[in-house]
Structure 1
Amino acid sequence: MGWGSGVGNIAGLAGLVALASAALPAIADDKLPAPCVLEPGPVRTVARVLDGETLVLDDGSGVRLIGALAPRARDAGAQAGAWPPETQAMQTLSNLVLGKRIKLAFGGRQKDRYGRFLAQVFLEANGRSEWVQGTMLAAGQARAYGVPESFACVRELLAHEAEARRKRLGLWSNGVYRPMPAEQPGSLLKQRGKFERVIGTVASIGKTKSTTYLNFGTDWKSDFTVRIGKAVLAANPEFARTLDTLKSKTVVVRGWIERRNGPLIDVADVSQIEIIDGKEDVPAPAGVSAVTVPNDAQPASVPVDPDGAQKLRPDPTEGADPGAVNL
């Protein structure tokens, strides 16, 4: 389907290796969400690369690679510009897109508070359309994430990331990016305002009229908790019906650490929760089916043009700058 034909889907983000692990019990293969659908946007040339996820185009507009969170020095408390994963991600992105024509595509909110596009980005090269977020994730140069209004393509994003984790590529070879243990709430609170993956066993599940809580300890005033709003459950009824089965399961939850009594992650999409089958870094992202890669496919390529990214994360922490995930 041609780029100018309105909309099309990228179910063919097929460069996803088969992942042998357990998915959330709520989602069967025959009930997976619809493929990612994107609206085509402008076609421009990349004039500058500001960091591992931010571009400036030849018309002066800025672009954030929504869904691919680049490593930053603050992840490790390092000095700006002196954190190897950060500089490597920027170099990888520069090598990939600088001076080249790209296509933008949208699936939700199109701009952030700074006026930058929030877009999926595709690079035209050698007669093929390459998904830039997929390439960065598959190379271990970014972490997959979503925020309300920007969860389009999240399952494809997670699957590309999972391949890099499996191979321990890029940032995944660095201990800073391993999951933090849920049983250490004091350490988690020190990461307040940062994006983390937290691993732990669900001790109990609490419910109110508006919210469900996954508790990872016996003291909700100090232990790590995951909050799932009723809107998320309403949008995922199968998941909601089997939510109680998560008790005693080991899971990895991704998101920004907040302080609500103890440390908390707010789940805005079920893709933020992964069940572990005994090998920590080989989990199947919630709702991602296993897909076998054809012999001639590359893990992060998009073979055809797309013809879809979707209330954003909580207010940024004090002192957050435009380079942080501050949408």
Structure 2
Amino acid sequence: MHRVALGARGIAAAMLTVLAAAVAEAAQPTSTNEEAACTLDGGARHTVVRVIDSETVLLDDHREVRLIGALAPRSPDLSPSAEAWPPEDAAIAALRAMVQGKSVSLATSGRAQDRYGRRLAHLFFDRDGERVWVQGEMLLAGNARAYGLPGSYACMRELMAHERAAREAGSGIWGNAAYGVRSARAVGDLMRRRNSYEIVTGKVAKVTATKARTYVNFGADWRRDFTAGIEQKVLRDHPEWAKTIAALEGRRVEVRGWIQYRNGPYIDIEDPSQLVPADETLPGRTMPPSEAMTSSGRRETDETEKQKRPAPTTAPGALDL
């Protein structure tokens, strides 16, 4: 079995053209998130016979493969009469244009399958003599958001760097309010988005450690306000990162994950990539006061919208094969 390495040392000339006006500044690893170079286990080549949806393909050996690391958009309307959702249609079209009927190479790391039995893998294909990373292309075009699953958080630094380039350019879903970065203060808005994957930004009010979890609280009332929680096992698995959590008090951070209800809106942190200081990330589009309502219905402002951040200076992590 050969190894496929992804790094942040360079970027292909073709991508430089695309990213001339939209590059990201966080392709470098930091001691805070303890991320090493991304290395995947390469597998056999197969042909994609059908694109099932915006993140799943069917191979010629009848296996279904889910593109781990790139969460494509789905319609918020789950009713049987729901109409087509343009962001989802755009993602399906982009994926189909890249891989439909083409030979692809699979690369994996960690967890092999999702709960539906689909293979979790990164896909690569050849284009004009260049090896192209499918997940990277989906993120770069704004057709997906970076994410992971328990046991499958490999290459998050590179995935998030590609996402950040799209956010900077306002490409794809990043120009759509449905995928805007949410304010941690907009408790009511977050509660209405339970069971959805969101990126939330806000200033940490207090960090509290218990025997079971460490809680990162974003308000004075932990029974109501937004909170991120980290199980002790996650902290033990990332000891250097764990040492930095208490120092987040008073800092603005960005949290990504699935909104749950646990004494108010809550995100479970399973990997350091889900909790990052905001000055190490790209702000994206935080929902304006007119769209972010508290649980009492009162509109609130968010200082994030007023802050101006320097333009990014480096390109996202590229393929280093």
Question: What interval of TM-score do these two structures reach, taking the shorter chain for normalisation?
Answer: 0.7 to 0.9
Q: Of residues 271, 284, 288 in structure 2, which corresponds to 1:281? A: 284
Where does residue 308 of structure 2 map in the other structure?
none
- For the 8 Å contact 2:213–2:231, the answer to whether it is kept is yes
Q: 1:20 to 1:105 in 2, by over 3 A?
A: closer
1:300 and 1:19 map into 2 onto residues whose CA distance is 9
Matched, 1:35 2:37: yes
Where does residue 186 of structure 2 map in the other structure?
184
Amino acid corresponding to residue 302 of structure 1 in structure 2: L
> The residue matched to 2:136 in structure 1 has which SS?
helix
> The residue matched to 1:73 in structure 2 has which SS?
coil
Where does residue 294 of structure 2 map in the other structure?
none
Where does residue 314 of structure 1 map in the other structure?
none
Matched, 1:19 2:21: no
Where does residue 319 of structure 2 map in the other structure?
302
1:49 and 1:176 map into 2 onto residues whose CA distance is 24
Cα deviation per residue 1:52-82 (whole Å; 9 max; x = unaligned)?
1110112211010001000011279896452
Q: Of residues 6, 27, 41 in structure 2, which corresponds to 1:10? A: 6
Matched, 1:127 2:123: no
2:9 and 2:132 map into 1 onto residues whose CA distance is 10
- Structure scoring higher RCO (CA < 8 A, sep ≥ 6) equals 1
Amino acid corresponding to residue 217 of structure 2 in structure 1: N
Q: 1:105 to 1:291 in 2, by over 3 A?
A: farther
Q: Of residues 74, 77, 81 in structure 1, which corresponds to 2:76? A: 74
Q: 1:32: Cα distance to partner?
A: 4.6
Task: For structure 2, list consecutive stretches of 5 or more residues without a partner in the other structure.
Answer: 286-311
1:126 and 1:57 map into 2 onto residues whose CA distance is 22
Cα deviation per residue 1:256-285 (whole Å; 9 max; x = unaligned)?
001112110000111111222397239xxx
> The residue matched to 1:74 in structure 2 has which SS?
coil
Amino acid corresponding to residue 175 of structure 2 in structure 1: S
Q: Of residues 256, 259, 269 in structure 2, which corresponds to 1:254? A: 256
1:291 and 1:81 map into 2 onto residues whose CA distance is 40
1:226 and 1:76 map into 2 onto residues whose CA distance is 27
Amino acid corresponding to residue 67 of structure 2 in structure 1: L
TM alignment of 1:192-203, pairs within 5 A = 192-203=194-205
Q: 1:182: Cα distance to partner?
A: 1.2
Matched, 1:271 2:267: no
Cα deviation per residue 1:130-187 (whole Å; 9 max; x = unaligned)?
1000000001000000121010111110010000001110000111111111112222
Where does residue 172 of structure 1 map in the other structure?
174
Amino acid corresponding to residue 39 of structure 1 in structure 2: D
Matched, 1:46 2:42: no
Q: 1:205 to 1:132 in 2, by over 3 A?
A: same
Q: 1:121 to 1:23 in 2, by over 3 A?
A: closer
Q: 1:12: Cα distance to partner?
A: 5.6
> The residue matched to 1:137 in structure 2 has which SS?
helix
- For the 8 Å contact 1:130–1:300, the answer to whether it is kept is no
Q: 1:128: Cα distance to partner?
A: 2.1
Count residues with an aligned counterpart.
Answer: 286
1:154 and 1:71 map into 2 onto residues whose CA distance is 18
- For the 8 Å contact 1:21–1:276, the answer to whether it is kept is no
1:28 and 1:256 map into 2 onto residues whose CA distance is 26
TM alignment of 1:160-239, pairs within 5 A = 160-239=162-241
Amino acid corresponding to residue 19 of structure 1 in structure 2: A
1:300 and 1:28 map into 2 onto residues whose CA distance is 17
Instruction: Using the aligned pairs only, state the percent identity.
Output: 44
> The residue matched to 1:265 in structure 2 has which SS?
strand
- For the 8 Å contact 1:135–1:301, the answer to whether it is kept is no
1:242 and 1:225 map into 2 onto residues whose CA distance is 17
Query: Is the deviation greater in 110-119 or in 232-241?
Result: 232-241
Q: 1:159 to 1:130 in 2, by over 3 A?
A: same
Q: 1:255: Cα distance to partner?
A: 0.1
Amino acid corresponding to residue 284 of structure 2 in structure 1: D
RMSD across aligned C-alpha pairs, in angstroms?
A: 2.9
